[in-house]
Structure 1
Amino acid sequence: MPQNKTVETEVNVTNFINSYVENEQKKEESFKLISLMSDWTGFEPKMWGSAIIGFGSYHYKYESGHAGDMPLISFSPRKSAFSLYVFSPTEETQYLLEELGKYRMGKSCIYVKELSDIHLSVLEKMCRSTIEYLSKHHECACRKTKPSEAKQKNKQLWG
């Protein structure tokens, strides 16, 4: 069975952004997303694979037997657009997409050129809905954290 390429690493998130993201606006928006997603999840950011910043984790297992771990929600500050991995297959998230703003949908992610193109309050609802969905359907780290404690720590780290 093939190994997952997207696994949690020990790479420093701040160092990654400062070395990977060339555009200053995208750097600022990356740090803003870190602050928001840390707040929404109660988890500190971790690098997953070579270019994904994830928050929390869940364990999945398919009927085929393939299993692994993935972040609850995550993003990657790609050159052309942010890749937001925040979507779950629910009626609520389908509805929220209609309210999100200007984006492009990929197979499993949402592409956004700039944060000003979307409504961050809708993104928050989408993220929270996805976390709830993952918690119900998978073994999830979100059941083990105390969001208020993590939120306080994240505010100190990320503003």
Structure 2
Amino acid sequence: MEPTGTDVAGLIARSEPAKRRRDAETLTALMQEISGREPVTWGTIIGFGACHYRYPTGTEGDTGLLGFAPRKAATTVYLLDGTDAHAEALASLGPHTTGASCLYIKDLEEIDLDVLRGILERSLAWAEAGGSPGMELTVTG
């Protein structure tokens, strides 16, 4: 995946429903603060920073260090270290669902933003430290 250069504000403005736009603005500010990086679009994903990943199988690619996508059904927050790494924190986050490395949030106002901040900070620290033997990461931006 590569940055697409689409206007971040425009992507947020086109997000539906209205609470997805509200949540996208909040997450953009939060992830920018945590990462110290400007938001960049990767298709319909808003990412912060960049890294190259490589699995032991040889699969590799590029992605943001932190990122989210304001999807219609829920906002998807991407965690490079996976959701299992945050099981304890997720138990006190508030209403959400998960996939292997995706956190789905329908309404940011219903979750504990301090808990989310901690999850994002730990995920970023893991990525900046180079990942793990199961996923080697190199920060590129």
Q: TM-score, normalised by structure 1?
A: 0.77
Q: Which residue of 1 aligns with 2:109?
A: 116
Structure 1 CA distance, aligned partners of 2:18 and 2:91?
29
Higher helix share: 1
RMSD of Structure 2 on Structure 1 (CA) = 1.9
Q: 5, 8, 31: which one pairs with 2:3? A: 8
1:106 aligns with 2:99: yes
Q: Look at both structures and tell me which one has the larger radius of gyration over its CA atoms.
A: 1
Within 5 Å, give how 1:66-145 maps onto structure 2.
66-86=59-79, 88-89=81-82, 93-136=86-129, 137=131, 138-141=137-140
1:141 CA displacement? 4.2
Q: Percent identity?
A: 33
Equivalent AA in structure 2 for residue 101 of structure 1: G
In structure 1, the gaps of 5 or more residues are 1-5, 143-159
1:47 aligns with 2:46: no
Higher strand share: 2
- Runs of at least 4 residues off by over 6 Å: none
In structure 2, the gaps of 5 or more residues are 132-136
Q: Which residue of 2 aligns with 1:23?
A: 17
